[in-house]
């Protein structure tokens, strides 16, 4: 597991696990949720309250995501570097016709700019990160819904790890009785206030449930 033994070498820290609390329908106390989802004070079942906190289920696929939602998912690891890469790439491309038409020595510089731009873009948005983001997007648009539960909330200490992501949410759900675990980086500081055992919705691709995401997507 990713649990930290040497805190300095670890990009994540596990949050203080203050328990998730809900208001018990039986006695009206705000009580922590235990494994059986029963009130510690009066013994009432808390499952209904927890299920209601999950919110409305995801709509049927294909789901339409807003532009902001898409760009929050498909996002370079280092957006500033990526923007510089794009700038150099375009600057280089703009120099090519000038170099060909008038000033031949400019061609070398144009090629250098374009090469530098391409390198910057690639380094700031690695292929595997982009692939993972596309898989998540596919699950959000085409995936089937599943009732899920947050299993772990971690604060991200190294801020550049995935483009300003602050929080890592781990969650679990079941597909045909098989437990599937997923994990989602989130840029929202508010997600730090989420707690293990919180009921949420997940969406997964039926052919490959390892392609999954939490619903609804931010922001
Ligand atoms: Zn109670």
CA of 151 to the centre of ligand 1 (A): 23
CA of 34 to the centre of ligand 1 (A): 12
pLDDT tens sequence for the chain (219 residues): 444 444 444 455 555 556 788 899 999 998 888 888 899 899 999 988 888 888 899 999 999 999 999 988 898 888 899 999 999 999 999 999 999 888 888 999 999 999 999 999 999 999 999 999 999 999 999 999 999 999 999 887 665 555 566 788 999 999 999 999 999 888 777 888 888 889 999 999 999 999 999 998 876
Q: What pLDDT was estimated at residue 1?
A: 43
Q: What pLDDT was estimated at residue 93?
A: 95
Peptide bond into 157 cis (omega under 30): no
Please give the distance of CA 58 from its chain centroid, rounded to a whole number.
Answer: 17
CA of 46 to the centre of ligand 1 (A): 8
CA of 24 to the centre of ligand 1 (A): 5
Exposure of 94 by Cβ count < 10 A (0-12 exposed, 13-18 middle, 19+ buried)? exposed
Q: What pLDDT was estimated at residue 87?
A: 97
Q: What pLDDT was estimated at residue 192?
A: 84
Closest CA to 142 of 56, 55, 59: 59
Query: For every residue of 110-169, which 3-state class applies, written as one string?
Result: HHHHHHHHHHHHHHHCCHHHHHHHHHHHHHHHHCEEEEEEEEEEEEECCCCCCCCCCEEE
How many whole angstroms separate alpha carbon 109 and alpha carbon 99? 9
Q: Where are the domains of the chain?
A: 79-124
CA of 45 to the centre of ligand 1 (A): 8
CA of 197 to the centre of ligand 1 (A): 18
User: Does the reported pTM lie above 0.85?
Assistant: no
22 - beta bridge partners?
31
Peptide bond into 219 cis (omega under 30): yes
């Amino acid at each position: 597991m990713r649990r930290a033994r040497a805190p300095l070498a670890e990009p994540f820290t596990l949050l203080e696990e203050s328990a998730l609390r809900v208001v018990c329908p039986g006695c009206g106390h705000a009580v922590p949720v235990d494994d059986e989802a029963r009130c510690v004070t009066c013994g009432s079942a808390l499952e209904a309250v927890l299920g209601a906190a999950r919110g409305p289920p995801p709509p049927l696929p294909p789901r339409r995501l807003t532009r902001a939602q898409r760009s929050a998912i498909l996002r370079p690891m280092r957006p500033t570097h990526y923007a510089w890469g794009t700038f150099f790439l375009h600057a280089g491309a703009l120099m090519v016709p000038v170099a060909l038409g008038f000033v031949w020595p400019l061609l070398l510089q144009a090629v250098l700019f374009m090469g530098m731009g391409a390198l910057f873009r690639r380094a700031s948005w690695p292929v595997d990160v982009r692939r993972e983001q596309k898989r998540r997007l596919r699950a959000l648009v085409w995936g089937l819904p599943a009732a899920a539960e947050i299993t772990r909330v971690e604060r991200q200490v190294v801020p550049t790890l995935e483009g300003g992501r602050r929080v890592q949410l781990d969650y679990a759900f079941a597909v045909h009785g098989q437990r599937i675990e997923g994990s989602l980086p989130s840029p929202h500081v508010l997600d730090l206030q989420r707690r293990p055992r919180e009921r949420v919705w997940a969406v997964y691709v039926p052919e490959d449930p390892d392609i999954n995401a939490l619903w609804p997507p931010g922001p």
